[in-house]
A and B are shown apart, each in its own frame.
Chain A
Amino acid sequence: MACRSGKTSIQRVVFERLPAKQTFYLDTSTRINKYRFNSVIPLEIWDCPANVTLEQLSPLSQFSSIIFVIDIIDKFSGPVNKLVDWIAVFYAEKPDINVEVFAHKEDAITVDDYKLETFGNLQRLVVESLADALAPPTDDQNSPSYFENLQIPVSFHLTSVYNHSIYEAFSKTIHKLIEPLSYIEDLLNIFCANSQCAKAFLFDTNARLYVATDTSPVDSGTHNLCCDYVLMLNQLAPLYKYDLYSTSIDANKPEVLPTGRSPTRWASSSTRLKPDSTLTYWQVTPNMAVVTLLRTELFQTRRGLIEYNLVFLREGIQEILEVENLRQRGELTNVASPTSPEKDS
């Protein structure tokens, strides 16, 4: 929200793979930057400068979520006041808005207790200010509490572009916008149960956000490792593919493709860790992959069964996404203005 809180850094690091260190050189944004990203659902993310006005964003009903980035190593009472004012206005126009508060630059606080205390203070301040701001006028005091009836979901996340926290927070933000999420979760649950996997994530391999996971609790360590696994594979993939045809092809000759390179060969990988875990990766759509963590012994003895189960999981996910795609396209033609499900402030 406040100037230099890290909004542009987040957008560039997560969606454009800018190395976190390079965010140091970013200039202060002066205008709204819209960024489109197609995952399970098409997203449009608006990176707004700190001095953006509500008029510039109207109509507010076009947004599904609003992300407030607050620098927690700076004084945050000013930004919190602005946040509260904005929520009130948004709420009037779009009562089902999702509000996500990113308490950003958490890497800069190295003492864990102090970090959690600061994070707690921020949450308390936001909740209390919201209660005050939205309290009914005094003569209305006997009516049922106005605030308690407000169902504004405000979620808080500690984030930093220097570690995985920003990916986890952004993933959770997106989950709220994916309508068929529960169907995908069901499929992942069934897969985990049948294959005895400890954990399965469906990753968007470009942004390294997970768009769904089975319902067992997400342990940050496991999430980070899976995220790094996807990163490693993304980085290795381009190194050893060769492109004979680009350097020495005669443009007039018809293109000869290497035989046996079926474009339908889905990428897959497994990594054995010691003492006894294995990570697996199966591509299920051109830009999505299922990443699982399971016991090595299990993978080695039941690999055939697991890969058999995966075929059904892949088909299931593809079907759900196709339906979602059709639905989205259908909707888009009905709405005059472009939908902008996400906004980053």
Chain B
Amino acid sequence: MGKSGSGKTSMRSVIFSNNPASLTSRFGATIDFEQNHVRFLGDLILNLWDCGGQNAFMDSYLTTQRSTIFKDVGVLIYVLDVESRETEKDIHYYNEVLAAVAKESEGAGVFVLVHKMDLVRGNREVAFDRKKRELLERTKDIPITIFGTSIYDESLYKAWSRIVHTLIPNAAAFSKHLTTFANACSASEVIMFERTTFLVVATSKVQSSAVPVPPPAAEPSDLSLTMDDKRYERTSEIIKEFKYSCSRLREEFHSLELELPEFTAVLDELTKNTYILVVVHDPTIETAAIQMNIRLIRDKFEELQADTS
């Protein structure tokens, strides 16, 4: 939910419909609410409600449609345009919506996205912190998680990966098995993505043993510090963009292997609805070996996923 024009329909289309950000300028305002079922990880079905933000709609959500809109909510995502100055009226809606969700759907997670961060001229962090402080002041008693986002960079994937992560029941089990797998094939890191959205489902713990020469001074935890800390969401964004390029030629992206001086990586299908990225820093390990290992764990992960339901 959020004010009209804040970017809700745009982000939904970028994440769930493989549309490029540039196409979103053609969208008209959403009338009333649009309901979408997206199959996520096979048996997990996300029921997305995109609620048009014009005042008339907001009023009716809070009154006549109150139980339709706010009952059985798993997660509320409230979107605010970073550039817009919030009027009394907007603050009022924001508070009312949060209160309604807290009351009608106890335990629902609340995420607030400070959106269109790309439009900030000057220091983004400062602008974000200011907005964040403002929001926290206004939000009494209800715990919220705040992200700065833009459809034009990886920040959107970071926020949405974290949001859906709270909805995946056995995320911890995935993570544990990925870590075991990483160990088995000397990978420094293994990441699991959902197939259509390319959001991150789970990651292995970084494998310090996969570092060819452990430097004397470095703690094992230093490894993750020194890889790009936006790598997960950047990978989602980059692959998503490339998938779009392929689709324009009526081709479909299927798998990727990569051997660079610094690392080797394989990105391949894991289960029917997930992809796996295996990153190896040991140059003696061949991509073919990684591919074979992936084939060997497919069944195991199909099983794990079946437990999701």
Contact = CB atoms under 8 A, between A and B. Distances in A.
Contacts of A249: 215, 217
A247 B252 contact: no
B257 A269 contact: yes
B63 interface: no
Contacts of B211: 242, 244, 258
Contacts of A270: 256-257
Interface in A260-308: 260-263, 265, 267-275, 277
Nearest to A241: B262
B307 interface: no
B284 A225 contact: no
B173 interface: no
A274 B250 CA distance: 9
Q: Is the interface of B mostly helix, strand, loop or mixed?
A: mixed
Contact of A235 (B217, B234, B262): B234
Contacts, number: 135
Contacts of A271: 253-257
A184 B300 CA distance: 49
A265 B227 contact: no
A240 B264 CA distance: 9
A247 B226 contact: yes
B215 A237 contact: no
Interface string B280-297: 011110000000000000
B265 interface: yes
A130 B225 CA distance: 62
B48 to A, nearest CB: 27
Nearest to A227: B245
B241 to A, nearest CB: 7
Contacts of A129: none
A247 B225 contact: yes
A249 to B, nearest CB: 7
Given A232-B242, A260-B284, A265 B261 contact: yes
A139 interface: no
A168 B132 CA distance: 44
A258 B257 contact: no
Contact of A236 (B152, B219, B238, B281): B238
A244 B230 CA distance: 17
B108 interface: no
A91 interface: no
19 contacts: A19-B152, A21-B118, A239-B231, A239-B234, A240-B279, A242-B188, A242-B226, A242-B227, A242-B281, A245-B215, A247-B225, A258-B281, A267-B258, A267-B259, A269-B256, A273-B251, A273-B252, A273-B254, A274-B254
**Which 5 pairs across A and B sit closest by C-beta, in order of nearness?**
A241-B262, A228-B245, A273-B251, A274-B252, A239-B231
Interface of A: 19, 21, 162, 221-222, 224-225, 228-229, 232-233, 235-250, 256, 258-263, 265, 267-275, 277
